[in-house]
Amino acid sequence: VQVAFYDATNPDAREFVWSRVKENYLDPYGIKAFWLDACEPELKPGFQENLRYWAGPGLEVGNMYPAENARTFYEGMLAAGESDVVTLNRSAWAGSQRYGAALWSGDIGTDFATLRRQIAAGLNTALSGIPWWNTDIGGFHGGDPDDPAYREVMVRWFQFGALSPLMRLHGFRDPGMPLGPEMTGGPNEVWSYGEEAGAILESYLRLRERLKPYVLKVMRQAHEEGLPVMRPLFLEFPGDERAWQVADAYLFGPDLLVAPVLEPGATTWTTYLPAGARWKDAWTGETYEGGASVTVDAPLDRIPLFLRDGAELPIAG
């Protein structure tokens, strides 16, 4: 299926596209938040060298496209008198954050290997200056809610999602329907995964809600100071050489170390705690001196979490 797209680097094109959005969405229905899917753009065939944008040759300026597309909506909303602008974007580029762009990691797979890659994606995005980032919890392509193996993926991913900058459950679950106007994916609500998994998912929704004041605090810090919500360990502990090597854990704000479980069947998990702080297991209260790896219990309903230097957060309720 071929698609058409506009030149988002052209101010006249941005103005025209926004005029249509305003006339058909904002003005009649008051719709103020927009999901900007396929904003790379989704070229078919995907040869940037064939393109000439208003801003220059495709190979030189093509990566600007998602940021300029977000700019269309940001500037349009401001001109319409709206000061709070947010868009959900499948792609971004340097500076997208100035246009209220929240980035997600795209249409990804539904297994543990893909979940592991989301940590690197989130941390690199954060270090690129884009603090508002998230994934399709559970992945996008497939995943059967009746499959016990996939239920485990969903639970572990949901735990990670509850401790991501933005928390959003989305995906095209099995059994899906053939491509067409009526197509839809299978059930994907938290109650779609059976009684045991559903209870765990509910508990992490409640955890996210309890953490809301802390999340808002670190989001405000991201806005005012540029410090990301999701932080590699070395950002807070640059003097610890081992902290620079940790790729499977991160800090959620300054006070909470998150070590997602990334393997099927795991009931314990090992993670490194940076030197220069004392760390308390948020579930058990046991304390550890930083600078060493620790192994903790990680049954299906528990993601390893550690509080820094006496920080108090309502983890266990």
Residue 290 has which token pair?
């930083």
- 107 carries an active-site annotation: yes
Task: Indicate which residue of 12, 27, 37, 49 is catalytic.
Answer: 37
CA distances from 290 to 233, 255, 299 (A): 12, 14, 23
- 111 carries an active-site annotation: no
Task: Indicate which residue of 27, 84, 107, 174 is catalytic.
Answer: 107
CB 260 within 8 A of CB 303: yes
- 84 carries an active-site annotation: no
CB atoms within 10 A of CB 226: 10
Catalytic residues: 37, 40, 107
